[in-house]
Homo-oligomer: A and B are copies of this chain.
Amino acid sequence: MKRINLGLIGWGTIGVGVTKVLEQTSTSLAERLGAELYIKRIADLDITTPRDVSIPKDRLTQNAEDILSDPEIQIVIELIGGIEPARQFILDAIGAGKQVVTANKALLAEHGFEIFESARVKKVDVGFEASVGGGIPIIRAITEGLVSNRIKSIYGIINGTANYILTRMYEEKKDFEEVLAEAQKLGYAEADPSYDIRGIDTAHKLAILSTLAFGTGVRSDQIYTEGIERISLLDLSFAAELGYKIKLLALAKNDQDGLEVRVHPTMIPQDNMLASVDGVYNAIYIIGGFTGPTMFYGQGAGQLPTASAVMSNIVEIARNVLHSSTGMITPVVHKALESNDKPIKDIRRIRSDYYLRFSAMDRPGVLSAISGILGKHNISISSVIQKGRGEKGGVPIIMMTHEAQESDLQSALSEIDCMPMVLDKTLCIRIENLPS
């Protein structure tokens, strides 16, 4: 039987997952493929810590070069993450005519063009199913399943840590800090959780999704990004009372006058499917021109779900290697990255309904002063809730607005936040009235 030689760079959680999955499935996959998938070499700085998988020691190396310069290795799997040296390893692999599989969303979001350009020139495949949505096969859904659709919009819950925290806060009636500490203890949040909580990881993934969906290069630094660190239990409860859930949402809309790409806490109606996506689960809700609404749901992280996505690329690319037909898909991505014809809207130009939580002194005239400033800036209020006491002797005032322009809202809020009666920066959550 033929053999496809794999070289794995990075033997951490996901890397070990890939070796585990291969150990369990190599026989059945070989039957399907007509060739054996063989891990010829694994490179990691740490090759001594025991992993729960049987790989002979002589296949381990601390030097990625042993993989990159091995002419027998046909597919390189990069799972070290981060920008360097991952970027250089991938470029070297492509330069040597090897196929590449990676889960590295940060790298693709920032250096995608360089990577896909060199892949196009060398006619090799670059698989990155695992970069977004863990075990959910969302990349091929967009690039292949929905290929004929003009995609209108994407709404994604694509960071399990942030979703876990928001879910637990609401379900257990606990504060952000308390749940974050628990999540860190359980391994659902990193020691430094800022990538997940501040929306950066979500923006990396959205850059990849929107580039593919809209066929135009979107970099993560072009995406307006807010995290969940200011969301309080109070907001989650008010949202529920109003028929909403708060999710850290990745949004992308393909409007006549440009693309909207943004990541921020968002209120969505409780009866939309996305609102049921709780805990570490991810989902991507896509409205296609022909398909209408679709949704793809599953575990967005974790060793085995992510390894499953990596494996799906390995199998696909191995098949292409066997049939000498690599380099067929990559140009699609490349073409998207090459074109920059669609302008990206500044956040100040978007229109939205808003949820506003003001922290004001409990004094006569506060409500009238706040609503006066909103009115002056063309912001019309649809409802007001005021009850109970907030922290620091202040009182939370909740307002829901009708659709308004973000620039108007920001002007109003900077004015309001300068009022002496206002004790803390006003919290603002955008609302998306998704269909049920």
Binding site for B on A (CB under 8 A): 17, 21, 25, 28-29, 31-32, 34, 129, 134-137, 140-141, 144-150, 215, 271, 273, 276-277, 288, 290-299, 302, 304-305, 307-309, 311-312, 315-316, 319-320, 323-325, 328, 331-332, 335
Contact partners of A21 in chain B: CB under 8 A:
148, 290
- B304, A298: Cβ atoms under 8 Å? no
User: Could you say which of B17, B292, B316 contacts A144, with CB atoms under 8 Å apart?
Assistant: B316
Q: How far is the CB of A376 from chain B (nearest CB, A)?
A: 42
Counting chain B CB atoms within 10 Å of each CB, the highest count among A31, A308, A324 belongs to A308
Other than the known A32-B335, A135-B292, A148-B312, what 12 A-B pairs have Cβ atoms closer than 8 Å?
Answer: A32-B147, A135-B288, A146-B308, A146-B312, A273-B273, A273-B276, A276-B276, A290-B307, A290-B308, A292-B305, A295-B298, A325-B325
CA distance A320 to B302 in the complex (A): 34
Residues of B within 8 A of A308 (CB): 146, 148-149, 288, 290-291
Residues of B within 8 A of A320 (CB): 325, 328
Contacts A294-B135, A297-B297: A129 and B145 contacting too (C-beta < 8 A)?
yes
Is B149 touching A145 in the complex (CB atoms < 8 A)?
A: no
B contact residues around A32 at 8 Å (CB): 147, 331-332, 335
Given known pairs A32-B332, A148-B29, the reply for A291 and B319 (CB within 8 Å) is no
From B137, B293, B294, give the contact of A145 (CB < 8 A): B137
CB distance from A117 to the nearest CB of B (A): 17
- Shortest Cβ gap from A231 to chain B (Å): 23
Check if A273 sits within 8 Å of B293, measured CB to CB.
no
The complex places the Cα of A288 from the Cα of B299 at a distance, in Å, of: 11
Query: Bound complex: CA of A266 vs CA of B63, how far in Å?
Result: 55
Q: How many Å lie between the Cα of A159 and that of B2 in the bound state?
A: 42
Chain B's nearest CB lies how many Å from the CB of A285? 9
Question: A146 to chain B: which residues have CB within 8 Å?
Answer: 137, 308, 312
Contact B315 A147 (CB under 8 A): yes
* A-B interface, 9 closest residue pairs, ranked by CB to CB distance from nearest: A137-B145, A135-B291, A325-B325, A294-B298, A148-B311, A290-B308, A295-B297, A290-B304, A323-B325
Contacts of A325 in B (CB 8 A): 320, 323-325, 328
